[in-house]
Structure formats: structure tokens, C-alpha cells
Structure 1
């Protein structure tokens, strides 16, 4: 027996405290509970404390809104449900929203030590879910209070390639993907953005980004960038204009909506992100780059080179499509450290060292 909690989020319901032996007994209990709510003797919040965390979490994912006010991207919702199913649910899912900080700490400590990034993301998701429950009066306080619980260092270090190594990698991938590597480094596009580009988005002078493709279960989904700042037009460095012209002429169908990097040359279906990543990983092994190098590191490479060439924080932020200057400041900091290193080298040369 369960019933909806008045004043709660849509579809939120609670279970009765016990299993009834007859339908008549269950109906009588439900009538009493409703009367107590209407009379003010029983608060909906106290009833909702019986809601299983897994039930509330699923409702949270279903009704969650992005920063732009729309529903979660299918890929984001699928990722959240994966964390709920694999990391959170087995231990915490059957517990109620009265879960305590001690239980959260024990759960977190028992997560596999070999997956720090996944653990941190699962913890961050759980904390967000609990924050919503606190705001709605369904939890007395935030039980996720582990300092640094949502922070971790990337297991695979970010690598900055040299311009020569970018060419190495571009020459190592299949020829019809060569331009994707160059755009990753010199236009700093993300993998999901480059795979959703259309012929009409790409010229020898600019690349327009206003969509991306994700691959949740069920097939590719095309949607806008996560934030408004992600919509941008990126100038193509002049030394890569010829590569753009050659690629459009040799590999891309004539309609403006043709994919420059489809599953197979000439086709109209998307190249899957995992297939693209595999092609890059195989090619990396034929270069001087470390085997941990990934496509996303090309974006890091491009921004580092731009910062070293004197790009401002605002310029980096606009080119990256970031909604805040936080990441751009990191590249500026890296550029500053490089400049200090060069200055030290000059001093050693001046001293005859």
C-alpha cells in the first residue's frame, strides 16, 4: 500500500509501515493517514521519511532540470542512472531518506579504490539528490558531509602535445579522420561537437558549433551545448585552411547537412564516439605521444598553445565555450609557469650555465 504525499514533488509516494493481511485493513489505514494529514496531525515531511532513497533518486533524475531549464540530456540521465544502479543503489537504495552521515561515510569508504573518478562522481550525484530532499523538507539535514568527497585527480594525466606531435597523430589516423584531429587541436572542439558538425558549419575560415551528439542507450541524440556559452564560432588558423578545403572536397557529401565525419565516408549516420576514440587510441600508439593520450588532450593542447601565444582569459573562455573563466584561468596559469621556466633558462644562459 502506498499513496502520494500532498505538497511533494510530482509522483512522490510513500509505503505503509507494514504489509496488511487484507485489503480492508489497508484501506482503513489509508483513510486514517489521509485524515491525519488533513487535520494537520501528521506532516507530509514525516511521511516522506519512509520513502526509499532509490525511489526518490529515480524521481529526481526523471524531473531534474538543467541549468537552461530543460530536462537532462539523455546521456546525462543514463549516466546518473548508471551510478545509481552500480555505485549507490546496492548499499543505499533500500534505505530511507533518513540516512545518516555515518552511513554515507561507511558507504563511501567501501567503494572500490581503483575507481576514484567514478566514486567522486557518484558521491557528487548523491549529494545533489540529498540537497534537493533537504530543500523539500524531506531530510532534516545534508548527510553527505565528506570533505573533498566529490574531488579527485584524473587517473589519466592530461598531456600537452607539440605541434609536430599533432601532425604525427593526424597522419596516423585513417585519412578521412585527419581533419578531426586538426580541428581538435587548432579549433579546440570536443569529440561530441566534431562528430555532429555538418558541411554547412565548416568553412576554411570558421567552424560553427551549436550542437553536439551523445550516445545514450538507444542511439545517437543530437542536442544543444550544455550552456549558452557553448554556442560559438571558432576561427580556423590560416595554416589549416587548406586541410579544410581538401577534406570537404574529398570526403564530404554536397548537402549542407552532410556529416564531415560519418560512420563511413559517404554515409549519413554518425560515427559512434567509442569507435572514434578507438581509432584515435590505435593511432596514438604509432606516434611519439604517450599511450594515455586521448582526443580531449588535443583541446588542452590548443588552449595551452593559445595561452602561450598571449590569448587573454576572455578570449580563451569564448573559444572554449565555457560559461565561467575558471578553466581559462588554468591555461593562463600554465602559460605563466612556462614563461617563468623560460626566464630561468635565459638567466642560466646569461650566467654561462
Structure 2
């Protein structure tokens, strides 16, 4: 479909804009005019879904003609709409994972609405955006990048919808972060020392996270049915996240995150024994539950959840003590994942192997661990010299 091509359907139509986003339009049954959607979409199916909501509103007699609405919501005058109102409508129309929606809502409420909420879209200037960005705390570069990226995206949607002529968020590189912390992966002896210093039975959790490169949320959401009977494979199908005082169970971080991970043979007997003696009973029992003897009711809404998840704050407290035993006070819980992928790279894993094992959808993300293994070149050269004289 070309940039200007339109896709016809029984109700409404969609077209791809020069920006690459998709605009939905429909014929109003009240004024007979063609109205575009108040926002644009990344995918055609999202535009189709929006048209379906308009059609449902018409059938259920809940529809209000945009031409009959106050001037501030008229398509020609939306540039005068306050940023907060436009951002709310933009967020409501997006198809997002609940975790992402909560993150965007938090950024809006904490960062963007206080700065731009009452300002009409057309009055937001490059100077205002730059002044706001300059005033952000310097000690949280990742949070600042996320806030700026969301502002740029929302204002970019206004440009795509022809509400604004240009996007005032034009600070080069402000929406990106660079890794400022060098992660030194744990060695095998250090990993064993940390695991031995953890309370029982959570030493195995450290080893499984380290050797299988599992994210913490993936680790604590593992259930009996996610582990093969012989302990050779763990199937990552869900992750646990705790946000805004509520427990969330959902799919992994990306489509690639849904994966089967082979467990190194030296860990398999311990994992089988753990399932027999330590995991919660039943196929939906958690592999690494909280120490609470009685599972609590879980508010996450997942039908298979029996509660008793091990909270990250508790695990982190134990981990801080355990890492000191290995003299690795710099190591974070998430660095266990880095350790596992570096070990896999040293073992000869190719780039596709690492992407599959880690659940990465990006080559760049997996490439980090290939670089970590590049130091083996000197070792290989030394071994080659041993061939002389044989």
C-alpha cells in the first residue's frame, strides 16, 4: 500500500501517512462529513480497532458528532487543546501492555503534566522543551530519556494527525541512554560462593538465574509445569512485576522473551530435587515461592496464580549479604543475567544462540556478550602455539 493509498471497509477507511503512521477516517452519520481520528496509529489493525469503537458508539446511540462538540475539540482547533487533555486521549487510544501503560501514566503524571499540562499544544516551543529538559535531575539519565522520549512521541502524534505543523521536541539524542556502568560478570567460583551464602533454598535461584540468564520476574514466576520432569529445560512463558502497589503477571518483555532455556546438566539434579521438596505443590505451584508457609491470595488476576511470590526487595536484601561473601559488592541481581549470557558466549554460543537463550529481539543487545567473549582470542592463539613441534 502506498503512502497515500486507502483501505476501504464496510465502515470507515484507513490510509498510511508520509510519516509511516496510519490514519483512520469515517463518514459521520450526523453531519455527513468525513472525520479523521483524533490520533494516528502505528499499525493498521489498531486503526481498524478504533474504527470499530466508533461504529459501536453509533449503533449504541452513544456517538457525538465532532462538528457539534466545543471548538477546543473540533479537528481544526485541536492545536489549542491543553497538552494534558491531548496526552490523556493519546494514551487511552493506544494498544499497550498494562505494564507499559502504567509506566507512561507515571511519566505523564510525574514529569510531563506538571511541566506542560495546561499549555496548549500550539504554544509548546522548542525553547520551553529545552528549558524543561535542562532542569531535569542529572543523576537519573535513564528516567530523563524515557520522559523526553514520551514527550517527543506524543507531540509527534500531533504532527502526524496534522494538529501541529512541527514537533518542538528536537533535542538530538535526548531520548537515548548509553550504558554508563561497566558490568563485570561473576566468575563461576564467585557465583557458587554467592549461591552458598543465600538462605535455603534460594541459592539454587541464584544459580538458575546466573546459568540460564533469566530476568528476576521470569525466575520468580516459574511454575512446576514450566520445568521439564528431568530438569533439563525451563519454559519462560510469563513474568512477574510489582508496580503501583499491585502484582502483575503477564507475558515476557517481548515476543522473543517467550522461550525454552536449556539448563546446564550440572544443575539438573538439584533442580529436580528442589521441585520434589521445595516448590509449591500442583502444576501451578511456584518453583521459588516466598518463605510464607501459607500462600496468600494474589491480586494479579491470573487464574493459575496461587500467590506467595518472592518479592524483589526480599531477594535483594539476601543477595546484598551473599555477594559480600564473594567480595562482589558491585554485582546486582540483574547482573546474574549478564553473567549467564557471558558464560554462554565463552562456551561458544553464536549470536543467534545468545538471542534465543536471552530472549532478545535485537542483535545489538546480544552483541554485547559476544564482545565479552572476544578476549578468548589471546587464549586461542596461545593454544595454537602448543601445536608447534607436535
> Hey, what does 2:320 align to over in structure 1?
281
Calculate the TM-score normalised by the size of structure 1. 0.80
**Gaps in structure 1 of 5+ consecutive residues:** 1-5, 11-30, 66-70
Q: Is the 8 A contact 1:176 1:265 kept in 2?
A: no
1:158 Cα shift? Answer: 2.2
Higher relative contact order at CA 8 Å, sep ≥6: structure 1 or structure 2?
1
> Hey, what does 2:341 align to over in structure 1?
303
Q: Distance in 2 between matches of 1:100 and 1:207?
A: 51
- Mean CA deviation greater in 245-254 or 183-192: 245-254
Q: Is the 8 A contact 1:7 1:44 kept in 2?
A: no
How many corresponding residue pairs? 311
- Mean CA deviation greater in 235-244 or 322-331: 322-331
Q: 1:180 aligns with which of 193, 200, 205?
A: 205
Q: 2:376 aligns with which of 339, 343, 346?
A: 339
Going from structure 1 to structure 2, the CA distance change for 1:153 and 1:255 (only over 3 Å counts) comes to same
Q: Is the 8 A contact 2:292 2:308 kept in 1?
A: no
Q: 1:246 aligns with which of 255, 268, 273?
A: 273
> Hey, what does 2:242 align to over in structure 1?
215
- Note if 1:169 corresponds to 2:194: yes
- Tell me the secondary structure at the aligned position of residue 220 of structure 1: strand
Q: Is the 8 A contact 1:197 1:209 kept in 2?
A: yes
Q: Is the 8 A contact 1:87 1:111 kept in 2?
A: no
Going from structure 1 to structure 2, the CA distance change for 1:62 and 1:345 (only over 3 Å counts) comes to farther
Q: Is the 8 A contact 1:45 1:137 kept in 2?
A: no
Q: Deviations over 1:111-161 (max 9, x none)?
A: 111211211111112122222222212221222211110222345542311
Q: Distance in 1 between matches of 2:324 and 2:69?
A: 70
- Tell me the secondary structure at the aligned position of residue 167 of structure 1: helix
1:35 Cα shift? Answer: 9.6
Going from structure 1 to structure 2, the CA distance change for 1:184 and 1:190 (only over 3 Å counts) comes to same
1:219 Cα shift? Answer: 2.1
> Hey, what does 1:150 align to over in structure 2?
175
- Tell me the secondary structure at the aligned position of residue 240 of structure 2: strand
Q: Is the 8 A contact 1:184 1:298 kept in 2?
A: yes
> Hey, what does 1:59 align to over in structure 2?
89
Q: Distance in 2 between matches of 1:221 and 1:43?
A: 35
Q: Distance in 1 between matches of 2:205 and 2:243?
A: 22
- Tell me the secondary structure at the aligned position of residue 225 of structure 2: helix
Q: Is the 8 A contact 1:212 1:223 kept in 2?
A: yes
**Gaps in structure 2 of 5+ consecutive residues:** 1-34, 40-64, 296-306
Q: What is the aligned-residue RMSD (CA, Å)?
A: 2.8
- Note if 1:80 corresponds to 2:117: no
Q: Distance in 1 between matches of 2:323 and 2:91?
A: 37
Q: 1:93 aligns with which of 109, 117, 130?
A: 117
- Note if 1:7 corresponds to 2:36: yes
